[in-house]
A and B are shown apart, each in its own frame.
Chain A
């Protein structure tokens, strides 16, 4: 590539990334003034909206509801997806290809439609929607994704290692604990992180399936559409930073572990 072409390519990437982050940055900028109407550039820059956000009990309740849902979704999804991934990627069985396609089907499905269908389903079988039904709804969409994430890890796994361990006298439990799980664990951790972040940020499923409970994205959506106030921007920033922090901590943990074990295994 000559210089001009390189320059153009760099410019293209720069423009794409900038466009992707401008709206997110805008929320941050809007949160830095505490006036009733948004008038940028702000005359008085202030952190007042954050003080208001932190003083509202609702902020805490919203975060706790989202946290509760996201944590339960991650734990249950990783547990189920680990089993599913074995069938997806490891064992060779008749029907595997059908199973693989069935698993990815919910990913290729309009989410609000899934939310509506689930709401009708819960009502029909007499379950009152709450954060627990939202967990169930999120899982229908998240479980297939986590299964894929763990499967990708599993495709790079050589089952002969297990035979070798067994030949050396390891018990079934030891093989699982010392061979299989250590290899799979980066996949389990990234799968868990995916599940957490996707659940934390989900709007279309939550809107229809949380009943009287409200998650953060749902609350933001309702406040954005109707009465805007700077405190909405502040809470949006806090919620986003919380998930960024969760992501960074997990990624750093994975890195640390990999560098400790030596750069032996590719991700």
Chain B
């Protein structure tokens, strides 16, 4: 056994057993050495202590004798003592010192003097006095005793240790060799000769199954099984791969391995392939190798080349090259894909795509041509639409206008009726064209809503004015009702709203043969930033069935196709209204039943204006007044009553004259009677009524004479709008005594134009002869003096030569178009604020915007409708008249700001006695206008302080009343509220005084009034003439 293990040791110098044994020995030796050393040190210490104790005992024993020897300096005695001490083993030398001399010095004869250790010293005291030191005893221990003992100890222990180590080493070697090294060697021998195949397995070493070595063998077996499985898997992958896989030596290029696909692809058998170098397969192998080194150090790269087969033919291949390290060698793995087919396909694909590109380019060209032509066509369509509207409207304009002119000149009723039919046909045609254009604009999304100041009452008045004739002709009564809860002005698109209302009302009139048409505005609800307003048009016409209602608001649909012929129309009106309602955030609908009339309604969202709502004007004056309404139409009575209630008036209503008479007889206390003049017996009733009577008539002009003759205060044109009604009542109750029905009662723009603006010079810039003629006729018909300019240049010349009150300007004119001409004219100082109105067939919003931008005031669509033209002319001529009456402010505003837009300097300042905001509201927010009003007030009343008192002094009640009345309204206009109220009270007092009542207080009121007037004048002076010293003026104002 021992020899066996010795040969084992020699053979395996680096075996596990030896290493373990050496480790064991080293550890044991180290531990043993440390233990022995610690033991030795401890032993030595103990021995040394024992030696010291022994010496101490010796000294103790001889101390007394030694001290006596020292005391009497007896050397003999000392020597005796020393000699005795040295006889001891542990003592090497003894010295006994007396006080001054050495009494004895004895040395152990065998002592090596060099090895003397430090002595133990004992002081010797006198036997009779412990304090007196008489000498000392020095005892040198003998170190050799200790040394000998230590040496003996170490020698025995070290020997024992060495023996134990040797025994341990041998035992460990034997155990390790037998139990570990040999079985492991057996396993490793098996592993060396193990073939990796499915059955590869290590035999379990005898007697070791289950212990660590057995487990190791099991684990190795499991690993081998896994490796075999994986090997098989990868082998399968490699062998089944369609692409050739080659393993190459990177240095030499030798082929080390190749899969079956590689044999197939290159045409070599396996043995032949393994003889080859890569150079043979891929001629430019080294180039790629260098590239590979350059391209990718760590990973692989892909390249394409043309490898050669065995038969010399070559093919296109894509090679994925990857560098791997196999043992000592750098290896390359090549994955060679045959891409010949792929290349061919790619080539084909490329060719196809080239063709396709060419085709696409060709198509694109065609398409862009098509698109261009489509765009051109669209543009052509747009311009065609614009042109057609122009082209169609122009002759229609001529037809309608000239028909009207001719009709005015004709006497024969038959011919006149034919002319009317021509007009009607023309209007119809016009409305169809307008509807179609509107709808197409809406459909194209081109219609944009405007956000302008929108006053419902004037809007209603406009609409009703336009349809008044048609309604009158059919004998229909129009009723207008405005919800008092609605503010006077909102923000919205007045043009579209007017159009929508017109559509409703026209429809209603068209389908109603008798009865009434009621137009109504109601507050629906509040919406963020504004109000939802419900606009209703109720007629007493045919009515509609459910089925008819269902399809009413679709394009080109009328309630009954059979009605189309009877009633005409395109059926677009409601469709357009529906769109408008939707655009304004609302809805449209109809409530109807056949035979019971219809109510068409739409809701529209209107925003609040930025300025706060104007407070209702002096309501207290009318509050509590009792009014009797005599009208046969309940709707009309309701509308009037609503308006009057909103003023706080007390309303009684009756449906016929007889009832009215009875009521008057019973109450006899009505302040005012509103009488439908069309009722039979109205004249008699009015004559007998006794109180203030206002006549209401559909044709105010016709009945005015008879009504006034019958004692009516004035005649109001039906339908009466709340504002006009209240104004008329105010005028009738508190106004001057004489009747003044015209302004308030007659809303006909035509007649008002004729009355107020006849003789005004107007410039008409229009190139089309027919249009010229129509316009001239229409303008001259209301007494305006017309100059014509055929183009923009002529218009400029004319404008320079003369001074016109108003200019009508066609937008499209030769040489200089309307916009440029307008800009030029506006540049002239005298035309800075003259109204310039555009006339154009271009009804689009952007045209309108362009007009306003060029400095025009407003816009009239062509063909020019007489009523519309007159309304517009009246509006702007009135504004201009206000300007013309006050040239000074225009001059004043020349200093700094433009006339209209910029607020004049004092504006907005809250002034004592004058509420600027209120005044501005009365002038529609127009600063310049308000300033003019102020100036006018100032100039009129500047020198009239004291007038009232003078008049009162003379008892001229009538004049005083008129003066106070005038002052009241004037003060109201400029926002002098306190003055207005004082004037109103004065007016009442005056009335009492006039009737012979107690007139004492009137003087007090007059004084107050005069003082307030003076205050207002001061304020106005300060605002209007800020640079002047106000002192003399104020003194003057107190000067009666």
> Is B a genuine binding partner of A?
no
Residues on A close to B: CB < 8 A? none
